[in-house]
Amino acid sequence: MNVIVDAGKCCGAGQCVLLAPDVFDQNEDDGIVVLLDATPPEALRAAVREAAEVCPAAAITVEERP
């Protein structure tokens, strides 16, 4: 899995951090997403997929790789 974030779309909601705090963080002031781990381990992938779906700005893309 390869995680891509689009900071230009991010609205700072922090939903991704609530779901996957080991993969996402946010800046202090504007709350814009900070990607901590672009290739998360298997155990975190379900949470990352959910984060991509519920992101209110559609700012997270997940590329699944075989």
Q: How far apart are CA 33 and CA 36, in angstroms?
A: 9
Interface with other proteins, residue 15, by CB under 8 A: yes
Query: Tokens in use for 66?
Result: 């075989």
Interface with other proteins, residue 13, by CB under 8 A: yes
**Site for other proteins (CB under 8 A): which residue of 27, 38, 39, 41?**
27
**Site for other proteins (CB under 8 A): which residue of 17, 23, 47, 48?**
17
Interface with other proteins, residue 21, by CB under 8 A: no
Q: How far apart are CA 35 and CA 22, in angstroms?
A: 9
